Amino acid sequence: MISQWYKRFYEEIGDSLFQMGKVFVLYGPRRVGKTELVRAMISSFKGKIYSGTGDNQELRALLESQELSKISTLLGSYDLIFIDEAQRIPQIGYGLKLLIDTHPHIKVIVTGSSSLDLSNKIGEPLTGRNKIRILYPISVLELYQQFGGMEVTQMLEQLIIYGGYPDVLNAKSKEDKIEYLLTIRDSYLLKDILEMENIRNPSKLSDLLKLIAFQIGHEVSVNELSNNLGIAKKSVERYLDLLEKTFVIKRVSGYSRNLRSEVTKTARYYFYDNGIRNAIINNFNPLDQRDDIGMLWENFLFIERLKKQEYKRIFSNNYFWRTYNRQEIDLVEERDGKLFGYEFKWKQRKIGAPKIWSATYPNSEFEVISKENFLNFLI
């Protein structure tokens, strides 16, 4: 069976991302196609390429050694170096700094399924010498550019239920999609955390994710999670932080500038992929048989909007907005000194912005995003 190759947004701008004397860092969840993307981007590169992985013991020992003469001898003759799963190499940033300082003609690409460790290892030694991007599961934006609006609209229910992992989109049957998502859930989802962190109760991570899966669109109380899980509040906070740094969930804070009644001390969490969220609660029913369509729609739109922001370099601070008397807006984007409020509704409804929002932020904009107009919001 020949799988469909889904064109990724970064494929067409690879030349601008790979620069001599700099390190291009590609983060993203496991199994979203980082390795395949880089290989596609460098397939036509004219020059000598070295391709390695963080599991390669010789490469790890070389970069850990920080011995300039040895690094220069073994890697200095290449024009491009690609290191996959780079977070597994301790002190990789210092090793790469020695390399590009001595050989500024070299282009370096590293990928990582966790910002947990790699950002610390690369960030300080390569300040000003790295370019970071995130690769998500396949986005509506990418599907639209490759197939057009009609196909995306026809795929909408499938995307909401099964998500955008490349192998899920390529799966031929519902059963194959479910089996793949359950494999990710059981074999890959928490792998980085369990490999790199001393987690005493790994089962609590799964229990925590289940609790969050049923609270999409609602503020999450750490105290409540702590009580439900029977573990310390600090442990819950640590787990939430680890889950975010390994691209499982995304944290969003409340927006406030003027009012005491605005909620700011709690957070909401979204899953990076709807299919993973549904795998965690083991529910892949069609939309007309579900009572959580509102949660699914909100998670889908929020993450797809995040993908658009990342790929199109739309620099935005993202929040939710809610008052203690329950007036709320699902997504508030703060861009260029202006506020844009978006309310997510599965079915089209004519509703206006909350009065207190309009009165407090009179220059802000407000729009309802439904299945009738979601494409313009995401492309």
Q: Domain residue spans in the chain? A: 9-134, 140-378
Is 140-378 in the same CATH topology as 9-134? Answer: no
d(CA 311, CA 132): 12
Higher pLDDT, 347 or 199: 347
pLDDT(157) > 50: yes
Query: What average pLDDT does range 277-294 have in this prediction?
Result: 97
Query: What average pLDDT does range 337-358 have in this prediction?
Result: 93
Query: What average pLDDT does range 25-30 have in this prediction?
Result: 92
pLDDT for residue 350: 84
d(CA 58, CA 229): 42
User: What percent of the chain lies above the pLDDT cut of 70?
Assistant: 95
Q: What are phi and psi of 135, to 5 degrees?
A: -110, 120
| Range with top average pLDDT, 74-78, 245-249, 345-349 | 74-78
pLDDT(1) > 50: no
Please state whether beta strands 80-84 and 130-134 pair in parallel, antiparallel, or not at all (unpaired): unpaired
- Asked if 254 and 320 count as a contact pair (C-beta separation under 8 A), the reply is yes
Which architecture does CATH list for 9-134?
A: 3-Layer(aba) Sandwich (3.40)
CATH no. of 140-378: 1.10.10.10
